[in-house]
Amino acid sequence: MHLFHVPPSASGWALVLHGGAGGRVEELSLEESGSYAEGLTAAYLAGAAVLAAGGSALDAVCATVERLEDDPLFNAGRGAALTAEGTAELDACVMTGDGRAGAIAACRHARNPVHAARKVMEETPAVLLIAPSEERLTGWDLATVKPAYFLTPARQQQLRNVQDRVLEGSRHGTVGAVAIDVQGRLAAATSTGGMVNQSEGRVGDTPIVGAGTYARDGVGAISCTGEGEAFLQGVVAADVAARVRYLGVPMDAAIEATVAAELEPRSAMGGLIAVGADSSIVVGHNSPAMFAAYHDGDRLVTHT
Ligand code: ASP
């Protein structure tokens, strides 16, 4: 288990993002690892600018995730991992610490799935919408695209490799961000294409409140990545929050305990990012590697 903890920030706001948990980091060339670091840094700066200007945690996590969705390196938005049929089906969720949430699953038309999830939260009585139509998205003033927009040659090659068993496992690359703003409001957002070679219609933990994404004021905000079925069965994000809330344990101890109780018995790999109500930050994963970015008080840190 790898755990990184940053104490409460002097500014009162804090942001941490992830770009997925996986293995085989040693297979990344220097150049590739540099590109991931650049993508993570740009996304961090987009969200940090919102928070530094006094903006909301919700705006910050959406701005951060939007950047990562637009970056074809990550498994979200353009460049998402593909289903067994070669299609992209996007899932995303946002949640604010006051208990509101919105999510979409199997979305094929929203250029930025995170914004569609936010619209579900703000514009509908629903929490989770499956496959919103192009008309619905346009009605929300969201940018829409044809499904081919999400496909990249690298992901098509990855799918062939997995299907031909050239590649056994694979890096995941799901993205997420959690933040606390200067007013003490918490928010979490997560976005993914799911697992490479998943069957069409399969939905993982990402858009499920309490499994892949969770926020509660006074407790913390959490975004997960990894083998979605284990996160669903272990209700992982909510389990971490419950440990903090009811047992009064620090966030890093809560993450460690949840990974031990819910992921390890299922032989599942993954990682979590969290920000506490005190603006401390935690990154934890039991996978060999996890992409992440945050400020440690002195400098911007990226994990690739
Ligand atoms: N948790 C995501 C899913 O199962 C995949 C990932 O995080 O890489 O859909």
Question: Residues with Cβ within 6 A of ligand 1?
Answer: 20, 75, 172, 174, 192, 194-195, 204-206, 212, 225-226, 228
As annotated, the binding site includes 202-205, 225-228
| Residue of 115, 116, 40, 31 lying closest to 71 (CA atoms) | 40
Which residue's CA is the nearest one to ligand 1's atom 4?
Answer: 228
The parent domain of residue 29 ranges over 2-303
* Total domain count, the chain: 1
CATH assignment at residue 188? 3.60.20.30
The structure tokens listed for 69 are 């969705």
Q: Whose CA is nearest to atom 9 of ligand 1?
A: 194
**Among 174, 190, 258, 304, which one carries the catalytic annotation?**
174
pTM over 0.75: yes
pLDDT string in tens for the chain (304-residue length): 999 999 999 999 999 999 999 865 555 566 677 789 999 999 999 999 999 999 999 999 999 999 999 999 999 999 999 999 999 999 999 999 999 999 999 999 999 999 999 999 999 999 999 999 999 999 999 999 999 999 999 889 889 988 987 765 556 689 999 999 999 999 999 999 999 999 999 999 999 999 999 999 999 999 999 999 999 999 999 999 999 999 999 999 999 999 999 999 999 999 999 999 999 999 999 999 999 999 999 999 999 8
Instruction: Clarify whether 152 is annotated catalytic.
Output: no
Q: Residue 140 class from Cβ within 10 Å (0-12 exposed, 13-18 middle, 19+ buried)?
A: middle
Cα 189 to ligand 1 centroid, rounded to whole Å: 13
- Ligand 1 centroid–CA 193 distance in Å is 8
Cα–Cα dist 302/304, whole Å: 6
